[in-house]
Amino acid sequence: MASGRRALVTGGTRGLGFALARELSRSRCPVFVTGRSPEAARAAAAALAAETGGTVHWGAGDSGSWEDCSRLAREARDAMGGIDIWVANAGINQGRGMVWELEASDMERLVRTDLLGPMLSAKAAFEAMREGGGWLWLVEGHGSDGRVMAGLSAYGTTKRAVAYLWRALALEASASDSAVKVGALSPGIMITDFLRGSLDEADPERRRRVLAAFNALGDRPETVAAFLVPRMLAARRSGTRIAWLTGSKAAWRFASAPFTRRKLIED
C-alpha cells in the first residue's frame, strides 16, 4: 500500500515498536524511531532501513520527560518535514510482585514511562500535527479492559488509565474541532523480552500455567504489526480501536490449544 505518511514511533528499538516501524516503512512511510539509548536507536534505524529500503531516522530520549519528548518531536519534524502519525508505544514492565514488594523508585519510573509518557506524547503530537492534522495512536496492554491480575497492579493501573486517556483525547479533539484523530492499538499478548520477564516464577505449577497461557494466546510482534499497520493506515474515524486478540479469538485459542500445541516459548 502506498502511503508516504510520516510516522514517529516511540520505543521503536525493539518489540512491538520495532515491528510497527518496520511495517510502516514497508508501507512507504518515512519513519522516525525513538529509544532511550542513542546506540539502540541508531542501530534500530539502520537495521530497518537496510531491511525495508525505506527512509528511517532516529532520536534518543525519555518519553516520560517533556523536555525530551518535545525535542524529539522537533527533530522528527526537521528530519521528515512533518509528522502525520505518532505511535506512543514506549513502555516498561513491572517486576512480578505485590505493590508493597516493589521498590518505590521502580513504581515511579513505571508510571512516568507508561502513563506520563503517553500523556506527554499526546501533548507533543497535538502540537506537532495541529496545522496539518494526523493520527495519534496509544497502545493498550494488560489492565486496559479492566481485568485484574495479582502481581501486575502497578502496570495494569497505568494501562487502565491509558484506556481512559485515548478515549478522552478523542473526545477533546472532536469537541475542539482538532484536525488530529486519536485511536488505540490493542496488540494482545506478544512474545518479547518484555513478556518473558513475567515468567520469573518461583512456583513451578504457576509457571507451567502461565507458560501454557502465553503459548495459547501469544503471538510474535511481527505477526501483530502486520495486522495493525494496514488498519492504522486505513482508519478514518477518530476513536478507532484496533484489536488483534479479540475475545472470540482468545476463546478459540484456548479451546484448540490441546490440538494445536503452539510453542512460542520453550520452558
| H or E element, residue 134 | strand 134-139
Instruction: Write out the chain's pLDDT in tens, 267 residues.
Output: 456 999 999 999 999 999 999 999 999 999 999 999 999 999 999 999 999 999 999 999 999 999 999 999 999 999 999 999 999 999 998 877 889 999 999 999 999 999 999 999 999 999 999 999 999 999 999 889 998 988 889 999 999 999 999 999 999 999 999 999 999 999 988 776 655 555 555 567 666 666 666 666 678 999 999 999 999 999 999 999 999 987 777 666 656 656 666 666 555
Residues catalogued as catalytic = 155
CATH code where residue 79 lies: 3.40.50.720
Give domain status of residue 266, yes or no. no
C-alpha cell at 247: 475475545
Give domain status of residue 111, yes or no. yes
CA distances from 206 to 77, 94, 214, 217 (A): 47, 18, 12, 16
Give domain status of residue 110, yes or no. yes
Give domain status of residue 178, yes or no. yes
Find the domain containing 183 and state its range: 7-190+220-246
pTM of the model: 0.89
Give domain status of residue 265, yes or no. no
C-alpha cell at 47: 537495521
**Domains: count for the chain:** 1
Give domain status of residue 134, yes or no. yes
Give domain status of residue 215, yes or no. no
